Chain A
């Protein structure tokens, strides 16, 4: 080379001899950050992970990734309050990804196409008793069965589902959807004993030779309020009303029905009454923005013609009428009586003031700690009594279907470890892919897909499902709105923007690799990675 005439012929590409990687003071590395949606999902779903497959139209794979964490996507896609969407980074760009609607689409697709869970690979020979076939019990049973344990659910009621069947009305959760997702869990080999109320947990465990138990009996006893009432006044509780909607004998409430309370249950009862031809009036002691019900539910109820009297308490219930007292909020936002009274027509009063847990099955069990009517559990979901775990509405936490499912999963992992004599150590969480880690420039503008709603007349007169689903094309569109926060989605940006060709493209599905022989550490790849999947780390020099 050196004896060639100067600057006449240099061989192509020979600068490879010059390892410019030595200039670097920090190096880029690929990493996975935790998407905020995943972090917010009470069931711990890998949302970004299943959306990734939905984005390419591989719905079955998307569904399979989803059900690793949650066996009830069709139910979720209807009743979950989707905290994932509340924390979705896309919300800072235009509107959150419609995670919940894609989830429903996948769940419905699975039912339509008859997708089944993979059978457990091994059998452990251990027997676990699950008490209660609500979402929490079903979730635990599902995860335990997939881990190879023999599971039996004992359920007091005549059908599985818990509050998903005997609380949440049909117009929000059609029963064929629930039935299909429950059946798929049973198809894994989970035994379900209906009409089997567990009266004494230790006895039932002993009788069946169970090695561990998961309790998920929910909270079913309607809270009462001290309302002075005449003998003939018709006062019932909301949970019983909703439960009887599922049986032969529909509740007799009359025309003018007052619902007392401001939570989701109050809304559900009022909307149910409306559909049965009654005239529901919700009476609540505080204001709309202070009500525990979700605002979209209040809005839907109002649309359907449910009347709401804010800032009022019931003072007296008589025959055909009630007396309410007007309230006003003090500086702290608490309602205070004003001494102003009003009489209202009421053929019946439905109390929707929350529920207590029936803990009678735990009588005599040693080591338990009961506080505020709920069973205390350790972070591993075990009660104070070894081998007895609990979750869902009966333990202290937010009471939702999704939290129940999450408890079931967590308990299953810990029960599995406990049965093996080890402790379950969850994988360390990745750092969160917050919005500032993204480069939003690269995402196309795309507005959220709105789900269709049933027409108002049918919403007022039938129990048909109110909210519609997505179809294949708009589900695909919605999935592709995902920013893939913190996780490479193979956009080729790093490969393209490197001035030093120091990024190697490994091919579809394989991602990229840095060539540290030539990477000068400029950091352009990190800055221009749309999803925050590259991080610059200092070299130790």
Chain B
């Protein structure tokens, strides 16, 4: 599916660029003149996946819209670390309002541009998983339902990171957060709760829904650019590891995103008008432990008082994703 893979240039399309690729075969990020939508000096933690994912996505949107872009931001880490008063990291027209109303603000900006006849100006809205799947969810559903001309990007780091790692409806089962401690005997999140917003978005029959990770840049850029070519309500959820909230090493950010995809824990797919049209296949399937072990939020599943049954349950979730979305090539699935 998806992005054009280069047949064989040593690293093909896995790396950001490659001196052997023609410039138009390289990613937006490989360009010396990429817009660097979020400039250096932002206050994100070392190795922040959200800072990286936002630059990947907004740079791609800038490239696709000829730099005619307005970004609307919900409250969350992305907003707080990028605009420490009196400075801003943003190098795009950017507006912030509240934690829960970014989709509605974006709807308003898009309407204003329409009234002014500025059809070339495109609108993206962006927020964290808390802002998107919890507090902003009503506004988001309304934006979908009206098919407003906005691309909404959710940076999914699986908890409310900005306020100190509280559980959100995107927090996976068993993951420990500051607010899951009192839940039951174990410190982690429970099974059987939470919501799958990409699938809920699909249920709105909007033109485009996709998931992506910071580990597959080419796929991410392809999806943002494709979404920007369309009009109406569009939704992309980008998986962005958070070293602080997950208790992971800052250098493992991309590795963890890659493992989330390679284990099947985070299915990477795209859908048009409610139907899945493509998936990013698993290249080298990994057991779920590979993904869980480098993260302290899952530490209670291993060691002295290990919980193999919970690990098995998580593995079953990953396996279900693989089955449901067809994440393995036929031969790999059987071989």
Contact A442 B46 (CB under 8 A): no
Q: Are B19 and A489 within 8 A (Cβ)?
A: yes
CB closest chain-B residue, reference A439: B255
**Would you call B88 an interface residue if the criterion is a C-beta within 8 Å of the partner chain's C-beta atoms?**
yes
A1 touches B90 (CB 8 A): no
CB of A505 within 8 A of CB of B11, answer no
Contact of A15 among B29, B39, B217, B254 (CB under 8 A): B39
Q: How many residues of chain A get a CB closer than 8 Å to chain B's CBs?
A: 59
**Residues of B contacting A416 in the complex (Cβ-Cβ under 8 angstroms):** none
CB distance from A35 to the nearest CB of B (A): 15
B interface residue count range (under 10 / 10 to 19 / 20 to 34 / 35 or more): 35 or more
Q: Is A526 an interface residue (CB 8 A)?
A: yes
* Given known contacts A481-B10, A502-B40, A505-B32, A10 and B15 CB-to-CB distance under 8 angstroms: no
Chain A hits for B38, CB < 8 A: 501
Picked from A14, A23, A497, the residue with its CB within 8 Å of the CB of B52 is A497
Asked if B254 and A14 sit within 8 Å, CB to CB, the answer is: no
Instruction: Please encode chain B, from 3 to 17, with 1 for each CB lying within 8 Å of some chain A CB and 0 for all others.
Output: 000001111101111
The answer to whether A526 touches B251, judged by C-beta atoms less than 8 angstroms apart, is yes
B18 in the interface (beta carbon within 8 A) = yes
Q: B70-100, CB under 8 A of A: which get 1 and which 0?
A: 0000000000001111111111100010000
Q: Does A276 contact B (CB under 8 A)?
A: no
Query: Is B43 in contact with chain A by the CB < 8 A criterion?
Result: yes
Task: Decide yes or no whether A492 CB sits under 8 A from chain B.
Answer: yes
CA of A87 to CA of B243 in the docked complex: distance in angstroms? 36
Closest chain-B Cβ to A189's Cβ sits at a distance in Å of: 38
Instruction: Give every chain B residue within 8 A of A304 (Cβ-Cβ).
Output: none
Docked pose: A19 CA to B217 CA in angstroms:
27
Q: Does A523 contact B (CB under 8 A)?
A: yes
Tell me if B11 and A16 are in contact (CB < 8 A).
Answer: no
B26 to A489, Cβ gap below 8 A?
A: no
Q: Which of A6, A443, A501, A508 contacts B11 (CB 8 A)?
A: A443
Q: Is the CB of A4 within 8 A of B86?
A: yes
Q: Does B36 lie at the interface of the complex (its beta carbon under 8 Å from any beta carbon of A)?
A: yes
- Tell me the bound Cα distance from A518 to B86 in angstroms: 18
Q: CB of B258 within 8 A of chain A?
A: yes
Q: Which residues of B contact A490 (CB under 8 A)?
A: 17-19
- On chain B, the residues within 8 Å of A92 by CB distance are none
Per DSSP, chain B at the interface is loop
Q: Once the chains bind, are A15 and B10 in contact (CB under 8 Å)?
A: no
Contact with A along B220-257 (1 / 0, CB 8 A): 00000000000000000000000100000111111100
Nearest chain-B residue to A488 (Cβ)?
A: B19
B250: nearest residue on chain A (CB-CB)? A522
A377 vs chain B, min Cβ distance (A): 41
Complex formed: what's the CA distance from A500 to B11 in Å? Answer: 24
**Contact status B46-A520, CB under 8 Å:** yes
Known contacts A444-B10, A480-B9; A499 and B52 CB within 8 A of each other: yes
| Cβ < 8 Å to B, chain A residues 475-533 | 477, 480-482, 484, 489-493, 495-502, 505, 507-509, 515, 517-518, 520-524, 526-528, 530
C-alpha spacing A490/B19, complex, angstroms:
6
The listed residue (B10, B55, B82) touching A501 by CB distance below 8 A is B55
**Residue contact B258 to A441, C-beta cutoff 8 Å:** yes
Tell me which of A18, A484, A502 has the highest count of chain B C-beta atoms within 10 A of its own C-beta. A18
Residues of A within 8 A of B41 (CB): 15-20, 518
CB distance from B261 to the nearest CB of A (A): 11
B46 and A496 within 8 A (CB): no
Q: A499-B49, A499-B52, A524-B250 are in contact. Are A491 and B40 (CB under 8 A)?
A: no
- Chain B residues lying within 8 Å of A444, measured Cβ to Cβ, are 8-12, 14
CB of B29, distance to nearest CB on chain A (Å): 4
A16 with B10: in contact, given A496-B29, A499-B55, A527-B251 (CB under 8 Å)? no
Partner of A56, one of B19, B39, B48: B19
Cβ contacts B56-73/A at 8 Å (1 or 0 each): 000000000000000000
Contact B14 A496 (CB under 8 A): no
Minimum CB–CB distance from A443 to chain B (whole Å) comes to 6
A491 and B254 contact, CB distance less than 8 A: no
Which A residues from 232 to 269 make CB contacts under 8 A with B?
Answer: none
Whether B17 contacts A491 by the Cβ 8 Å rule is: yes
The answer, yes or no, to whether A422 is at the interface (CB within 8 Å) is: no
Q: Across the interface, which residues of B come within 8 angstroms of A524, CB to CB?
A: 47, 52, 250-251, 253-254
Known: A499-B48, A499-B49. Is A482-B40 also a contact (CB below 8 A)? no
Give A residues with C-beta under 8 Å from B: 1-2, 4, 6-7, 10-20, 23, 55-56, 441-444, 446, 477, 480-482, 484, 489-493, 495-502, 505, 507-509, 515, 517-518, 520-524, 526-528, 530, 536
28 contacts between A and B (CB under 8 A): A10-B86, A11-B88, A13-B88, A13-B89, A14-B89, A15-B39, A15-B41, A16-B40, A443-B11, A443-B14, A444-B9, A444-B14, A489-B19, A490-B19, A492-B17, A495-B30, A497-B16, A499-B49, A499-B51, A499-B52, A501-B39, A508-B19, A520-B47, A521-B46, A523-B47, A524-B250, A527-B251, A536-B251
